[in-house]
């Protein structure tokens, strides 16, 4: 995988439990890991990324039963605010460490530890994590199988005339990243938003440019982005799968979406198919 440094550690971690780990070669970098009881050799890898509340442990705990049932290795990276202040946008120059590079190092270590299949990643992100996940997929389409983006505050549109992070024109703060529309548009995507996630709370980007491009709420922005992606794919004669799902009775809460909205079932169903 691009920019992933392989690890030399080959000790299989405990199975059937959520583990808190620190990278061997970067002890300050924490992540949560779940290896299914049925074994991990050749198993696909599911990445779940937290929002600005940094609920990485809760993500791992909530998705662990699904990872067990589907026989996949679960990874939930933690991006502390003091180190990854710009993680939603991958980490532009001068705005904190690169979250995409940190995730690549975690993936390399997990692949070595668990002998999992890290060639193509199955990814989910909630809120700020949804921002990270869809931008990571755009930056590393060759590493990405399918993604689910839930309740993202705003999006990077497949517009090569608009500079990143609103569009995919070359980013000044990400010198090593080039966005290639044809490859970006080949990745199947599902957007999930709560039906009641329509409030412009303090965490939402209220930029006039964002409002004009994407709409005023997370619900409208998610629908506008998935339509823009589908239209762009059609313009490239691609029939990539794009899905938009609304969770009844859910506002902007990861836990409510998981419990009341049964989001976990929807996420794994889209990423891995019917169980």
Is-contact 193 257, C-beta < 8 A? Answer: no
Q: Confirm whether 4 is domain-assigned.
A: no
Domain containing 131: what range?
18-272
| Residue 265 in tokens | 């079932």
Mean pLDDT of the chain: 94
Q: Confirm whether 13 is domain-assigned.
A: no
| Residue 170 in tokens | 């070359």
Q: Confirm whether 102 is domain-assigned.
A: yes
> pLDDT-derived band of residue 1, with 50, 70 and 90 as boundaries?
low
CATH at 132: 3.40.50.1820
Q: Confirm whether 208 is domain-assigned.
A: yes
Distance CA 48, CA 18 (A): 13
The pTM (predicted TM-score) of the whole model is 0.94
Whether a cis peptide bond, with omega within 30° of 0, leads into 165 is yes
Task: Compute the Cα dihedral for 205, 206, 211, 213 and give only its sign.
Answer: negative
Could you list the beta-strand ranges (E) of the chain.
Answer: 18-23, 26-34, 44-49, 73-77, 117-126, 144-150, 189-194, 242-247
Q: What percent of the chain shows pLDDT beyond 70?
A: 95
Q: Is the pLDDT of residue 11 over 80?
A: no
Q: Is the pLDDT of residue 275 over 80?
A: no
Q: How many other CB atoms sit within 10 Å of the CB of residue 103?
A: 28
| Residue 60 in tokens | 């791992």
If one counts the domains in the chain, the total is: 1
Distance CA 12, CA 111 (A): 10
Q: Confirm whether 7 is domain-assigned.
A: no
Q: What percent of the chain shows pLDDT beyond 90?
A: 89
Average pLDDT for 144-171: 96
- Please report which helix (H) or strand (E) contains residue 158, including its range: none
| Residue 189 in tokens | 């995507």
Average pLDDT for 185-201: 96
DSSP string, 77-125: E---TTT-TTGGGT--TTSS--HHHHHHHHHHHHHHHH--EEEEEEEEE
């Amino acid at each position: 995988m691009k920019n992933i440094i392989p690890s030399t550690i080959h000790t299989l971690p405990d199975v059937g439990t959520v583990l808190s780990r620190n990278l061997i070669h970067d002890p300050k970098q924490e992540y949560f890991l779940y290896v299914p009881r049925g074994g991990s050799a050749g198993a696909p890898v599911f990445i779940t990324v937290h929002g600005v509340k940094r609920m990485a442990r809760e993500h791992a705990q909530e998705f662990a039963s699904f990872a067990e049932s589907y026989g996949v290795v679960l990874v939930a990276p933690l991006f502390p605010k003091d180190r990854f202040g710009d993680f939603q946008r991958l980490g532009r120059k001068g705005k904190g460490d690169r979250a995409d590079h940190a995730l690549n190092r975690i993936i390399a270590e997990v692949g070595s530890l668990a002998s999992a299949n890290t060639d193509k990643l199955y990814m989910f992100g909630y809120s700020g994590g949804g921002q990270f996940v869809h931008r990571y997929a755009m930056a590393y389409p060759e590493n990405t199988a399918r993604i689910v983006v839930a309740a993202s505050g705003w999006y990077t549109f497949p517009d090569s005339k608009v500079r990143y992070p609103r569009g995919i024109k070359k980013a000044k703060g990400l010198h090593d990243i080039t966005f290639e529309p044809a490859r970006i548009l080949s990745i199947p995507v599902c957007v999930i938003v709560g039906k009641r996630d329509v409030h412009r709370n303090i965490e939402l980007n209220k930029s006039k440019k964002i409002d004009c491009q994407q709409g005023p709420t997370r619900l409208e922005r998610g629908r506008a982005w998935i339509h823009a992606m589908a239209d762009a794919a059609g313009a490239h004669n691609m029939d990539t799968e794009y899905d938009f799902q609304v969770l009844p009775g859910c506002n902007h809460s990861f836990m409510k979406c998981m419990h009341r909205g049964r989001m976990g079932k929807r996420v794994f169903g889209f990423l891995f198919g019917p169980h």
